[in-house]
Amino acid sequence: MHIDLITKFYKKLRSDNLSIVYQGDFSDGLTEKIIALSEYSIGKSPEITEMRNKVSFVIVECFQNIVRHGNEHGLNSDNSVWFPGLFSARSLNEYTYIASGNLIEKKDVSFLKDKLEQLNKLDKAQIKELYLDLLTSGTLSKKGGAGLGLVEMARKSLNPVEFDFEDENEKVSVFYLMLKLQANRPRGINNKEYQNEKSVAMLDVKDIHEVMRKEDILMIYKGDFSQETIIPMLKMIEENLNKQQEGVHLKKKLILVLIEVLQNISKHSFAKNGKKDAIFMIGKTEQKYIICTGNIVDAKSSEKIKEKINKVNGLNKDELIVYYKKSLKESLADEYNAGLGIIDIARESSEKLIFDLKPEGEGLSFFSLCVHI
Amino acid sequence: MEKKIILEETQDTPKIILDKENGLFEISGRSLPENAIKFFAPILNWMEDYLKSPNQLTIFEFKLDYFNSASIKSIYEIIKVLEKISKNNFQVNIIWYYVNDDELIKNRGLEIKEMLDVPFDLKLY
């Protein structure tokens, strides 16, 4: 993964209040954490309770969709995963886009496509009718495909269900599904006006997914960084590491570096309009994990960062321990304690730290950092 | 002095027991507060008080899963107070626990042991 990728994604997702894109293992614990992250970003005021509940509901349905339909096709004969499911949640202006990507057998594509097209032709009352029908008569397909879950999502969304199929190999296709939710209930929305064009949001999901697959990225998070978002994110990654059965030592190193880079953003990022908007990515190649962050810093921090990273990059592992001990002895006066954190990161990194500072105008810079573990 | 401090573990702060009467001293779990200095300030105050009239024997246990760099500074300060108690001829024993294969927690403990002159045991649990 090249460090420029973080800049590229940041630019692409710049206007998002929140973006979470994840490909990997889908456990129940994960659903809970993603809901915590999205709830935090949507906000807690009572007037948007309805929106929040809808988003949580659609997230749960999307996850179940991936778990129910994606798993068996994405496995190799030795049970290793060659196609992890995709989940994406983006919040942009008053809209929240929830999307999933999973494999389905090619023979099921036309059936599913028909069902979705039919669903999109229905108006609100008809969807409700269909929903009640399904509730009493059971599901449409043996696995519940295009069944109750989809209809219920369409009811919550009040927008057409967007979908797409992408050929993967001779047996399976990737099924992309996207729901658009909005904070203010739209007036006079007419599902019949739905045009069969792919929205920019859908093209983005597919585009990001392609890069993530190529670069082995497990997760991208862009949004506000505060302790309230850092803790669920840490837990998400920790659960994933447990699932991967990584050794204790590697796990500890990863979590330690994660804590330091994420809290660094929270503490040192320049806040625009009261928000510390930043991006974080974690990727895995066969041997190594790579953690990348990107955030806006002011001119003063920019100089400090350059000086501190160049300093730790100039030291070998033994010298880093000496430097660590020296910093530990220094007084507690340095409230934000940036010195020790960066030494910690450098100590656990298997390579020199890679960083970049790109001018952003108004004396600000975009600081990106990649750590290999 | 303040009687005792007992804090339950939260998702980003450790469990803390400072109980002079029953001779229990423990910090365990994960310590990831954003503002560690603020979190540990009452703990350090308690320790400074305890330094004035410590028990004959203080067994202080650290059983940490994770800590951020901000917390380790405060933990170091706590152990420095224990060093002073030990130098005042009271018996002190620090036990730093780590799980199997956890080289990180083990090494961070070992480094503090090397930096200070106080009885300090590393123990697998």
Quick: pLDDT tens for A12-62: 998 888 899 998 777 667 777 888 777 776 666 666 777 777 788 888 887
Length of chain B: 125
pLDDT of A331 reads 63
pLDDT beyond 50 at A265? yes
Nearest C-alpha neighbor of A119 from the set A63, A164, A158: A158
Q: Helix H segments across chain A?
A: 4-12, 28-42, 49-70, 109-121, 124-137, 148-157, 200-215, 227-243, 248-268, 299-313, 317-329, 338-348
CB contact under 8 A, B69 and A253: no
Distance CA(A287)–CA(A270), nearest Å, equals: 34
The total number of structural domains in chain B stands at 1
CB contact under 8 A, B104 and A266: no
Give A316-330 pLDDT, tens digit per residue.
999 999 999 999 988
Indicate the average pLDDT of chain A: 84
pLDDT of A70 reads 61
pLDDT of A128 reads 85
pLDDT beyond 50 at A194? no
CB contact under 8 A, B70 and A263: yes
What is the domain-level CATH number for residue B32?
Answer: 3.30.750
Helix (H, G, I), strand (E, B) or coil at A195: coil
pLDDT beyond 50 at A193? no
Give A236-257 pLDDT, tens digit per residue.
888 888 877 788 889 999 999 9
Q: How confident is the model at residue A188 (pLDDT cuts 50, 70, 90)?
A: very low
**DSSP assignment string, A265-320:** HHHHSPPBTTB-EEEEEEEE-SS-EEEEEEEEE-HHHHHHHHHHHHHHHTS-HHHH
The rounded average pLDDT for each run of 10 residues, N- to C-terminus, in chain B (125 residues) is 89 96 97 93 96 97 94 95 97 96 94 96 95
Nearest C-alpha neighbor of B19 from the set B34, B39, B5: B5
Q: What is the mean pLDDT of residues A98-119?
A: 90
CB contact under 8 A, A328 and B72: yes
CA dihedral for B32, A278, A362, A3, sign (positive or negative)? positive
Residues of A whose CB is below 8 A from B69? 260, 337, 340-341, 343-344
Minimum-distance CB partner of B73 among A263, A328, A348: A328
pLDDT above 70 as % of chain A: 87
> What's the order of all strands across the beta sheet hosting B57-67?
B4-7, B15-19, B24-31, B57-67, B91-98, B120-124
pLDDT of A59 reads 82
pLDDT beyond 80 at A287? no
Residues of A whose CB is below 8 A from B100? 248
Minimum-distance CB partner of A337 among B69, B77, B103: B69
**Nearest chain A alpha carbon to B11:** A231
Distance CA(A73)–CA(A84), nearest Å, equals: 10
Distance CA(A279)–CA(A295), nearest Å, equals: 6
Contact assessment for residue A51 and residue A183, using Cβ atoms and an 8 Å cutoff: yes
Give A346-366 pLDDT, tens digit per residue.
999 999 999 999 998 888 999
Distance CA(A25)–CA(B14), nearest Å, equals: 29
Q: Nearest C-alpha of chain A: how many angstroms from B83?
A: 14
Tell me the count of A-B CB pairs closer than 8 A: 70
Q: Which structural domain range is residue B103 located in?
A: 4-124
Using a CB–CB cutoff of 8 Å, tell me whether B116 touches chain A: no
Q: Which residue has the higher pLDDT, A2 or A275?
A: A2
pLDDT beyond 80 at A63? no
CB contact under 8 A, A328 and B34: no
Using a CB–CB cutoff of 8 Å, tell me whether A320 touches chain B: no
Helix (H, G, I), strand (E, B) or coil at A58: helix
Nearest C-alpha neighbor of A292 from the set A362, A216, A239: A216
Q: Which residue has the higher pLDDT, A136 or B5?
A: B5
pLDDT beyond 60 at A192? no
* A298: number of Cβ within 10 Å: 15
Q: How confident is the model at residue A2 (pLDDT cuts 50, 70, 90)?
A: confident
**Nearest chain A alpha carbon to B38:** A335
Residues of B whose CB is below 8 A from A328? 72-73, 76, 111-112, 115
pLDDT of A143 reads 46
pLDDT beyond 50 at A187? no
Distance CA(A198)–CA(A52), nearest Å, equals: 26
Q: What is the H or E stretch that residue B109 is in?
A: helix B103-115
Minimum-distance CB partner of B66 among A227, A256, A348: A256
pLDDT beyond 80 at A71? no
Residues of A whose CB is below 8 A from B97? none
Distance CA(A48)–CA(A56), nearest Å, equals: 12
Residues in CB range of A269: below 8 A, 6 or more apart: A225, A276, A277, A278, A295, A296, A297
Distance CA(A215)–CA(A297), nearest Å, equals: 27
- Phi, psi of B108, rounded to the nearest 5 degrees: -65, -35
Least trusted range by pLDDT, from A123-137, A299-313, A314-328, B44-58: A123-137
**Probe site for chain B from A229, A242, A249 (most B CB atoms < 10 A):** A249
pLDDT of A191 reads 42
CA Rg value for chain A: 22
Structural domains present in chain A: 20-201 (3.30.565), 228-372 (3.30.565)
Contact assessment for residue A120 and residue A160, using Cβ atoms and an 8 Å cutoff: yes
Residues of B whose CB is below 8 A from A248? 99-102
pLDDT beyond 50 at A110? yes
B80-115: string of b/e by CB count within 10 Å (b at 16+)? bbbbebbeeebebbbbbbbeeebebbbebbebbbeb
Contact assessment for residue A367 and residue A296, using Cβ atoms and an 8 Å cutoff: yes
pLDDT of A144 reads 46
Q: Nearest C-alpha of chain B: how many angstroms from A168?
A: 41
Structure tokens at A249: 């030592």
Structure tokens at A135: 């509730």
Q: What is the mean pLDDT of residues A275-299?
A: 90
